[in-house]
Amino acid sequence: MSGLHLYTPAEAARVLQVRESWLRKKAAARVIPCTFVGRHLRFSEGDLEEIIRSGSPQPVTGRRRPPARRGRGL
């Protein structure tokens, strides 16, 4: 098993350029692939590749404006 590298959540977050808290939440909800070694959360190269491939949807950061209402012709 030489060459196998498991990333900590902090390392994986840096590689993926996301917040560690986002990564931990998604892993805890089993929305993204991850590996547990005992109670320790880790990410394999394959896990990171799958996360990138899946392109998890990004959260909406602002509210959309409702469409303009057309008034009745006066």
Q: State pLDDT tens for residues 18-66.
A: 999 999 999 999 999 999 999 999 999 999 999 999 885 555 556 666 6
What type of residue is 39? R
In a domain, 40, yes or no: yes
**Residue 71's pLDDT band (boundaries 50, 70, 90)?**
low
65: Cβ–Cβ under 8 A, 6 or more apart, which residues? none
Q: 15: domain range? A: 6-54
In a domain, 72, yes or no: no
Look up the CATH number of the domain holding residue 48: 1.10.10
**How many distinct structural domains can be found in the chain?**
1
Q: Indicate yes or no: pTM above 0.85.
A: no
